[in-house]
């Protein structure tokens, strides 16, 4: 192991591949090879750090040394799968679900839940992660003033303060595992453990305490640009024919100007390179002067899609990453929603149980809603990173938003009444028809 | 060679390129972009003059994928074998109506002042002609349905593809490959569905990719229906008016795709 | 009837060949051209979807000078400098000039490939009016048009077919690889006939009808399934013959309590079992119910 890491160290210090440039793809192969090695090293490092009872953070002393020589952008790392530079969405389990993180230069679509409560939460996590990493943050909104949203970001749980506590927690967890280890029949002993909480092996991104808001000085330490449609709209619009509506055009233009001014398009000197995080709230809603939510045949059916195409073009050529939320449940024409999804790279949909019949369903009692991964990106490779299961659910714990594999709750009651069993069976049947896979016919088997 | 299965399946190889073929790719609940990458590398390796309208991804993406398949796009572009239109690149300027309005811009239709895709066709015409040492001429489009998202009407897209067909398939005896992506709803009477149907009437070979009807599976990514139509009115053969069909399942790997008959996936056997 | 329509035995007709993605109708259209040329008629083809070479490909070389192909394939919208024939000329007077190009005014056959192309660029009402005008103009003997009916709304297809004297729909048959032509013809007197036939087009563009599926071996549609007699293949009888009825009447069924049976049962017979009970002195007869379960 040591010999291997020695080789790696020399390569890493020699080639500054962590520097994000818009033309990353040419080195993607090399990066991939290197990353595979890097992963094995960081795992070793992790183990070592635990043995030495150092503070439990993933960077080891010798990684720190190598990193100090590199000009890397805070809050980014190359993806294990394809070498793309990725950033965290602010929700660790979401990062895992979409293939490690959000690639720089790509667009994440979040289909809002009915009351926009969880999607808004995701947007805040996304922005908060940007603030903590020192990224430039851009927030566009037509409903609530962006400043209000920014004031309400969740507070980060920073490693420095509770590191001891975390360590203690780990030790006790290990102890309890030793003492209370179950006797398992040999036939089942070696089966992999079912892990419901999703997380990658190495830590990336931060955790947040949703019950507290972020300290003001932390928030004000980073550059933040905002776009609030009611403040931007001119009194009269010019009547030049265009596939894109006035509101979206203004938004696109202000993003374009910001990218140019701050040099996110690669013109900035290497040392001061940073990531621009763009959050756009509730695009497509009537407040953006768009009628796709109101009409089956909207007058400007291609306005939002044209905007997204332009946004995609901007993102691809700069150090930006973007999260867009869309009230898809309101969009009348499914074809438009299909096109919107296709123009985004990653697409997830939130389906909250609040107000739906699933709220009272015993099957879902542990969760707050379902998460559907509609699309994962194709980046510099043929195959796209598909999740191993599509049955995912989310819950908002006191402190954190987490995504888990959906599974039936264990029945711990001593006397199982017949009716409740039938209930669960019935709801399991519902589940298989509602979210288990995307079966489109009533045929049972393809092979 | 990459995708050996697909090549033998369709009777395609770098040595034998059928003249005047119009190949239509489509997908529903799945992603057919791997086929675009396949055809791109196939034609480049066969020494064809290729014009690629990449409307969906950046050049670096296509180039990275092609590299995995053993083809160097940058080199091909420098040697004049490949003409690449990067749709994303100058679209923002056109969308925001910056700079002069001119028919010279291939993406000039984004301004909204042009109702047809004449400027894009002019670009194709300039690019596929004058092949020189490279022949025959090939046009690849990834993908046509993006144009719908940009507010172009189905009629205008069909006119565009008609002109491309007359130029590429008929005049230059080359091949044309176009991708159309359609939504889940098959009964949709307009938009992508109409586009797909109208193009299916014109094409000589249709490959339609679909997700499995029974849902998502990790070991089988979907199924492909291959539909041959005889070329021109000349072909008779058994059935004549009817197309021949074949249904296969596939799985995409890092460097290629494997096709197999239904139920013969390695995950099952 | 398909052959009659293709041979064009009537004058002033307007034939629409409908096809879908599933089944292509262009071969039948080609057969119409070949048949007209064989009858020594002039044929004008408005070719939007196929090039001239493909139109001429399988036609008899001898008849070539009677065939006039108007090339709307290479430049139908006039994007180049010198368009040969554009789709806009279809509704203008120029078409008449094109059609009357031949000096002797023998009525010609006009073939349109395809109407779908024209419908994409002109409103349906204009197309209908123009077609009617062409038919009535006297310069034409017959109009034959191809229409991709899955590309248009039902109403547009309906209105065009309403104008036609004969409509041939080409659909896939259920037997292997063969196609079915559904022909509907309307005569001047208003009589409507309908027929379905399996057909095939040979190398020399002659059409042969192989069978008439409407009479035997017809494809099983849902309609047919509804007409099937449910009593056709039963393994038992629904009705009885006279002899069977008699036999059935004779049979005495068990558990039917006839008068004879009752009296026979009431007669005490020797040897039948009987229980005699004499209470013993030592018998402990307890009027109470020890187990509390007899409800005494």
Domain ranges for chain B, please list them: 4-10+19-260
Q: Is residue C268 part of a domain?
A: no
User: pLDDT at position A59, please?
Assistant: 34
Per the listing, tokens 């990275």 go with B64
- B82-86/B49-54 β-pairing: parallel
| Lowest model confidence (mean pLDDT) among A114-118, C122-126, C234-238 | C234-238
CB neighbour list of residue C293: distance below 8 Å, 6 or more residues apart: none
Q: Which residues in chain A are contacts of B69 at CB distance < 8 A?
A: 382
Q: Which residues in chain C are contacts of B241 at CB distance < 8 A?
A: 19, 23-28, 170, 179, 201
SS3 A404: strand
Q: Is the ipTM of this complex over 0.85?
A: no
B58 to A316: CB separation less than 8 angstroms, yes or no: yes
Portion of chain C with pLDDT greater than 90, in percent: 8
Question: B68-109 pLDDT, tens per residue?
Answer: 888 999 999 999 899 999 988 878 888 888 877 777 788 888
Could you tell me the residue ranges of all domains in chain A? Answer: 1-72, 75-168+192-409
C-alpha to C-alpha distances, C244 to B164, C241, C253, nearest whole angstrom: 80, 5, 16
- The CA distance from B168 to C51, in Å, is 13
User: pLDDT at position A294, please?
Assistant: 79
Q: Which residues in chain B are contacts of C148 at CB distance < 8 A?
A: 197-198, 201
C-beta separation of A291 from A312 below 8 A = no
User: pLDDT at position C88, please?
Assistant: 85
Q: Is residue C209 part of a domain?
A: no
User: pLDDT at position A427, please?
Assistant: 55
Instruction: Taking residues B142-156, report their average pLDDT.
Output: 91
B214 to A240: CB separation less than 8 angstroms, yes or no: no
Question: B171-217 pLDDT, tens per residue?
Answer: 888 999 999 999 877 666 678 899 999 999 999 889 999 988 887 77
Choices 3.30.560.10, 3.40.50.300, 3.40.50.720, 3.40.50.10860: CATH for A75-168+192-409: 3.40.50.300
User: pLDDT at position A45, please?
Assistant: 40
Instruction: Taking residues C256-276, report their average pLDDT.
Output: 72
Q: Is residue C256 part of a domain?
A: no
Chain B residue closest in CA terms to C58: B234
Structure tokens at C220: 């099983």
Partners of B46 in the beta sheet? none
Instruction: Taking residues C251-261, report their average pLDDT.
Output: 71
| Number of domains, chain C | 1
Q: Which residues in chain C are contacts of B233 at CB distance < 8 A?
A: 26-27, 30, 50, 54-55, 57-58
Of the ranges C43-57, C127-141, C268-282, the best mean pLDDT one: C43-57
C201 to B240: CB separation less than 8 angstroms, yes or no: yes
- The CA distance from C133 to C137, in Å, is 6
Q: Is residue C196 part of a domain?
A: no
Stronger pLDDT, C282 or A175, i.e. the higher one:
C282
- The CA distance from B115 to B111, in Å, is 10
Stronger pLDDT, B43 or C217, i.e. the higher one:
B43
Domain with residues B4-10+19-260, CATH architecture: 3-Layer(aba) Sandwich (3.40)
User: pLDDT at position A55, please?
Assistant: 38
- The CA distance from B92 to B95, in Å, is 5
| Lowest model confidence (mean pLDDT) among A309-318, B31-40, C263-272 | C263-272
Structure tokens at B25: 């790719």
C-beta separation of B148 from B186 below 8 A = no
Closest Cα in chain B, distance from residue C156 (Å): 14
Q: Does B71 touch chain A (CB under 8 A)?
A: no
Angle, alpha carbons B235-B241-B245 (nearest 5°): 95
Nearest CB partner across the interface for B150, out of A240, A309, A338: A309
Q: Which residues in chain B are contacts of A380 at CB distance < 8 A?
A: 60-61, 64-65
Q: What is the pLDDT along chain A (447 residues), one digit of tens a residue?
A: 333 333 333 333 333 344 334 444 433 443 444 444 444 444 444 444 334 433 333 333 333 333 333 457 888 888 777 778 889 998 888 888 888 889 999 999 999 988 888 898 899 999 999 999 989 999 999 888 898 889 889 888 876 444 333 343 333 333 444 444 555 565 665 666 655 666 655 667 888 888 888 888 888 888 999 999 888 876 555 556 677 888 898 999 999 999 999 888 877 777 778 899 999 998 988 888 888 887 777 888 888 999 999 999 999 989 999 999 999 888 888 888 889 999 999 999 998 887 777 777 777 777 888 899 888 888 877 777 666 677 888 888 777 788 888 876 666 555 444 445 555 555 555 554 444 444 444 445 555
- The CA distance from B184 to A70, in Å, is 47
CA quadruple A316, A322, A323, A329: dihedral sign: negative
Check whether the bond before C114 is cis (ω within 30° of 0): yes
Q: DSSP readout, A143-207?
A: SS-HHHHHHTPEEEE-STTTHHHHHHHHHHHHHHHHHTPPP--HHHHTSPPP--B---SS--S-E
- The CA distance from A382 to B66, in Å, is 9
User: pLDDT at position A31, please?
Assistant: 41
B60 to A25: CB separation less than 8 angstroms, yes or no: yes
pLDDT band at C177 (very low <50, low <70, confident <90, very high): low
């Amino acid at each position: 192991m040591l010999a291997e890491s020695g080789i790696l160290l020399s390569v890493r210090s020699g080639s500054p591949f962590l520097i994000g440039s818009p033309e990353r793809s040419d080195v993607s192969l090399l990066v991939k090879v290197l990353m595979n090695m890097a992963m094995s090293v960081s795992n070793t490092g992790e183990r070592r750090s635990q043995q030495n009872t150092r503070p439990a953070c993933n960077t080891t002393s010798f990684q720190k040394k190598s990193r100090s020589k590199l000009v890397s952008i805070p809050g980014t790392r190359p993806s294990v799968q394809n070498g793309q530079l990725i950033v965290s969405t602010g929700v660790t389990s979401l990062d895992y679900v979409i293939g490690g993180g959000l690639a720089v230069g790509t667009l994440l679509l979040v289909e809002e839940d009915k009351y926009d409560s969880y999607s808004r939460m995701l947007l805040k996590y996304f922005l908060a992660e940007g603030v903590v990493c020192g990224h430039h943050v851009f927030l566009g909104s037509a409903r609530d003033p962006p400043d209000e949203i920014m004031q309400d970001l969740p507070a980060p749980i920073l490693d420095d303060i509770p590191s001891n506590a975390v360590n203690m927690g780990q030790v006790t967890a290990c102890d309890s595992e030793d003492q209370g280890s179950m006797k398992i029949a040999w036939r089942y002993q070696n089966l992999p453990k079912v892990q419901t909480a999703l997380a990658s092996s190495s830590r990336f991104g931060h955790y947040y305490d949703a019950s507290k808001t972020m300290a003001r000085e932390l928030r004000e330490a980073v550059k933040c640009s905002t776009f609030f449609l009611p403040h931007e709209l001119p009194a009269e619009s010019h009547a030049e024919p265009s596939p894109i509506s006035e509101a979206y055009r203004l938004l696109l233009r202000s993003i374009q100007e910001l990218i140019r001014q701050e040099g996110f398009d690669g013109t900035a000197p290497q040392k001061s390179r940073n990531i621009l995080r763009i959050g756009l709230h509730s695009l497509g809603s009537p407040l953006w002067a768009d009628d796709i939510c109101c009409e089956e045949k909207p007058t400007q059916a291609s306005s939002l899609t044209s905007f997204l195409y332009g946004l995609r073009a901007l993102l691809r050529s700069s150090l930006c990453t973007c999260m867009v939320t869309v009230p898809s449940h309101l969009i009348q024409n499914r074809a438009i929603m299909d096109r919107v999804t296709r123009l985004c790279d990653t697409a997830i949909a939130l389906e909250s149980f609040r107000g739906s019949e699933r709220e009272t369903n015993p099957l879902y009692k542990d969760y707050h809603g379902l998460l559907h991964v509609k699309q994962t990106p194709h980046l510099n490779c043929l195959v796209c990173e598909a999740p191993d299961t599509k049955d995912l659910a989310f819950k908002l714990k006191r402190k954190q938003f987490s995504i888990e594999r959906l599974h039936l709750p264990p029945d711990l009651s001593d006397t199982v009444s017949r009716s409740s069993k039938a209930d669960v069976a019935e709801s399991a049947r519902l589940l298989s028809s509602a979210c288990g896979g995307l079966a489109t016919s009533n045929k049972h088997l393809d092979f | 060679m990459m995708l050996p299965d697909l090549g033998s399946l369709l009777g395609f190889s770098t040595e034998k390129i059928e003249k005047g073929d119009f190949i239509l790719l489509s997908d529903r609940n799945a992603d057919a972009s791997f086929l675009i990458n396949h055809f791109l590398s196939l034609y480049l390796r066969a020494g064809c003059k290729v014009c690629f309208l990449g409307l969906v991804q950046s050049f670096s993406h296509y180039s990275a994928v092609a590299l995995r398949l053993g083809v160097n796009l940058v080199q091909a572009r420098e040697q004049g074998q490949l003409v690449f239109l990067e749709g994303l690149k100058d679209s923002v300027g056109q969308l925001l109506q910056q700079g002069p309005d001119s028919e010279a811009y291939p993406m000039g239709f984004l301004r909204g002042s042009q109702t047809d895709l004449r400027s894009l066709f002019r670009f194709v015409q300039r690019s596929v002609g004058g092949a020189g040492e490279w022949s025959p001429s090939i046009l690849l489009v990834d993908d046509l349905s993006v144009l719908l998202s940009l507010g172009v009407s189905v009629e205008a897209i069909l006119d565009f593809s008609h002109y491309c067909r007359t130029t590429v398939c008929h005049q230059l005896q080359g091949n044309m490959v176009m991708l159309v992506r359609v939504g889940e709803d098959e009964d949709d009477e307009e938009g992508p569905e109409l586009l797909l149907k109208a193009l299916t009437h014109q094409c000589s070979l249709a490959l339609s990719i679909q997700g499995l009807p029974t849902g998502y599976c990790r070991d089988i990514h979907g199924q492909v229906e291959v539909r041959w139509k005889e070329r021109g009115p000349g072909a008779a053969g058994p059935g004549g008016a009817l197309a021949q069909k074949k249904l296969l399942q596939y799985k995409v790997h890092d460097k290629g795709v494997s096709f197999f008959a239904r139920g013969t996936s390695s995950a099952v056997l | 009837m398909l052959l009659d329509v293709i041979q064009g035995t009537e004058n002033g007709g307007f034939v629409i060949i409908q096809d879908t993605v599933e089944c292509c109708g262009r071969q039948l259209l080609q057969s119409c051209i070949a048949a007209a040329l064989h009858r020594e008629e002039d044929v004008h083809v408005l070719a939007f979807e196929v090039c001239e070479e493909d139109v001429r490909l399988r036609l008899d070389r001898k008849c070539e000078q009677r065939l006039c192909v108007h090339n709307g394939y290479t430049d139908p919208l006039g994007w180049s400098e010198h368009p040969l024939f554009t789709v806009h000329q279809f509704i203008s007077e120029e078409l008449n000039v094109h059609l009357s190009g031949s000096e002797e005014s023998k009525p010609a056959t006009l073939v349109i490939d395809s109407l779908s192309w024209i419908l994409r660029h002109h409103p349906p009402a204009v197309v209908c009016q123009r077609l009617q005008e062409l038919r009535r103009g006297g310069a034409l003997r017959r109009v034959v048009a191809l229409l991709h009916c899955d590309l248009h709304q039902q109403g547009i297809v309906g209105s065009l077919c309403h104008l036609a004297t004969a409509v041939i729909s080409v659909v896939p048959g259920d037997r292997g690889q063969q196609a079915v032509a559904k022909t509907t013809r309307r005569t001047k007197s208003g009589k409507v006939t309908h027929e379905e036939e399996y057909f095939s087009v040979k190398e020399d563009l002659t059409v042969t009808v192989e069978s008439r599926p409407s009479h035997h071996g017809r494809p099983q549609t849902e309609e047919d399934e509804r007409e099937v007699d449910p009593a056709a293949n039963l393994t038992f009888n629904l009705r009885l013959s006279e002899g069977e009825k008699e036999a059935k009447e004779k049979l005495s069924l068990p558990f039917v309590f006839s008068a004879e049976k009752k009296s026979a049962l009431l007669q005490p017979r020797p040897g039948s079992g009987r229980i005699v009970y004499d209470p013993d002195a030592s018998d402990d007869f307890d009027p109470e119910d020890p187990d509390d379960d007899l409800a005494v």
